[in-house]
């Protein structure tokens, strides 16, 4: 039997469901990554389509009416059916193809994986790759929950509960803007010097932050964050502006040091070396695609 016209669209039904669970249009809009005005317009269009008042806006905030609650209940089956339909469609699109899910720490994703991916796809053009970037702590969580085929993290120790293989060694360096007093410093920075200034840092949970904090703890010192940023690029920009020193991987600052945008500050007695590891669950052997990708992390002879 043909569907009656017009019919509600699935996104609007899902948005209405989010309003019911979140308790407000604002929170539902955030969950769907759209603006609140756009969410309100979509909901009004849904009301027009079905010819029902779905939200009571009389008290200054939107609450679902009885009709709205009923539509959410009826729409659940529709949303579930559409999700199953799209799973089938995606499976049909990738039939006969291999798929590889990678989750990686920021530094590895930005400065190493592009090269590894290029090598991998030259010899495995039939394999599609999905890359998710996160800090090392979140990568470990994703892998523990079997959310990807292979992960990459940075740190001094292997993550608990996961199999791992060291693929590369890395070093963190202290960097400042050319205008910063430390750019002209003649003596190496010690742990107490680093602990005595406010730093531009990665967020807690990142491999970079973990290594720095462990290095200072060895001397009974701790970090003093001036600002915490989740992006290496943002940290480099902040440091280059002169607001304070930052600690980043040599992989990330090589070009900036060469071009004079940043200046490396020598240090002594601070253990800033770390390992870059591939990780995967104990109970989930690497897939064939993941094993092939892991081979690309070896430096060419």
Whole-number pLDDT of residue 93: 55
Cα separations (Å) of 96 from 118, 129, 182, 185, 217? 22, 15, 57, 60, 52
Whole-number pLDDT of residue 130: 93
Asked if residue 149 and residue 18 are part of one domain, the reply reads no
Cα separations (Å) of 102 from 109, 149, 151, 199, 290? 9, 6, 6, 31, 8
Whole-number pLDDT of residue 177: 95
Domain of residue 142, CATH code: 3.40.190.10
Question: Of 93, 126, 149, which residue sits at a domain end?
Answer: 93
Asked if residue 250 and residue 209 are part of one domain, the reply reads yes
What does the alpha-carbon distance between residue 215 and residue 127 come to, in Å, rounded to a whole number? Answer: 40
To the question of pTM greater than 0.75 for the whole model, the response is no
Whole-number pLDDT of residue 1: 47
Contact 262, 240 (CB under 8 A): yes
Residue 85 maps to a domain: yes
Asked if residue 140 and residue 50 are part of one domain, the reply reads no
Whole-number pLDDT of residue 231: 83
Residue 241, token pair as written in the block:
């502006």
Quick one: pLDDT band at residue 87, thresholds 50, 70, 90?
low
Whole-number pLDDT of residue 50: 87
Whole-number pLDDT of residue 92: 53
Q: Using the predicted structure, report yes or no on whether residue 236 has a pLDDT greater than 80.
A: yes
Asked if residue 158 and residue 242 are part of one domain, the reply reads no
Domain count across the chain: 3
Residue 84: count of CB within 10 angstroms of its CB = 10
Asked if residue 58 and residue 195 are part of one domain, the reply reads no
Work out the mean pLDDT of the chain and round it to a whole number: 87
Residue 301 maps to a domain: no
Which of 84-88, 102-106, 151-155, 262-266 has the lowest average pLDDT? 84-88
Asked if residue 162 and residue 103 are part of one domain, the reply reads yes
Contact 132, 142 (CB under 8 A): yes
Quote the domain boundaries for residue 173.
168-275
The dihedral sign for the CA sequence 54, 58, 62, 65: negative
Residue 27 maps to a domain: yes
Q: Using the predicted structure, report yes or no on whether residue 4 has a pLDDT greater than 70.
A: no
Residue 262 burial (CB < 10 Å; 0-12/13-18/19+)?
Answer: buried
Residue 171, token pair as written in the block:
């070093």
State pLDDT tens for residues 271-283: 999 999 999 998 8
Percent of the chain at pLDDT > 90 equals 51
What pairing do the DSSP bridges indicate for beta strands 199-202 and 225-229? parallel
Residue 95: count of CB within 10 angstroms of its CB = 7
Asked if residue 271 and residue 183 are part of one domain, the reply reads yes
Asked if residue 138 and residue 107 are part of one domain, the reply reads yes
Q: Using the predicted structure, report yes or no on whether residue 76 has a pLDDT greater than 80.
A: no
Mean pLDDT across 52-81? 81
Asked if residue 159 and residue 234 are part of one domain, the reply reads no
Quick one: pLDDT band at residue 201, thresholds 50, 70, 90?
very high
Whole-number pLDDT of residue 70: 84
């Amino acid at each position: 039997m043909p569907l009656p016209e017009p019919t509600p669209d699935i996104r609007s039904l899902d948005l209405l469901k989010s309003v019911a669970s979140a308790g407000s249009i604002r929170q539902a809009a955030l969950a769907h990554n759209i603006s609140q005005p756009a969410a309100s317009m979509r909901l009004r269009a849904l009301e027009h389509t079905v010819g029902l008042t779905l939200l009571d806006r009389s008290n200054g905030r939107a609450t679902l009416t009885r009709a709205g609650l009923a539509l959410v209940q009826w729409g659940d089956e529709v949303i579930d059916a559409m999700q199953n339909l799209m799973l089938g469609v995606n499976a049909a699109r990738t039939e006969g193809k291999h798929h590889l899910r990678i989750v990686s720490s920021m530094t590895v994703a930005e400065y190493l994986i592009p090269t590894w991916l290029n090598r991998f796809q030259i010899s495995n053009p039939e394999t599609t790759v999905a890359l998710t970037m996160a800090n090392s702590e979140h990568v470990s969580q994703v892998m523990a929950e079997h959310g990807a085929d292979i992960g990459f993290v940075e740190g001094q120790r292997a993550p608990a509960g996961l199999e791992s293989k060291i693929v590369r060694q890395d070093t963190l360096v202290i960097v400042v803007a050319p205008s910063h007093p430390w750019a002209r410093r003649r003596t190496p920075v010690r742990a107490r010097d680093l602990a005595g200034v406010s730093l531009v840092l990665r967020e807690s949970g990142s491999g970079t932050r973990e290594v720095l904090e462990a290095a200072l703890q060895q001397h009974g010192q701790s970090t003093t964050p001036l600002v915490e940023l989740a992006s290496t690029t943002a940290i480099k920009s902040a440091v280059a502006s002169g607001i304070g020193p930052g600690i980043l991987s040599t992989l990330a600052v090589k070009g900036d040091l060469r071009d004079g945008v940043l200046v490396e500050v020598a240090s002594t007695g601070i253990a800033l070396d770390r390992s870059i590891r591939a990780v995967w669950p104990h109970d989930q052997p690497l897939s064939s695609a993941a094993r092939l990708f892991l081979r690309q992390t070896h430096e060419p002879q």
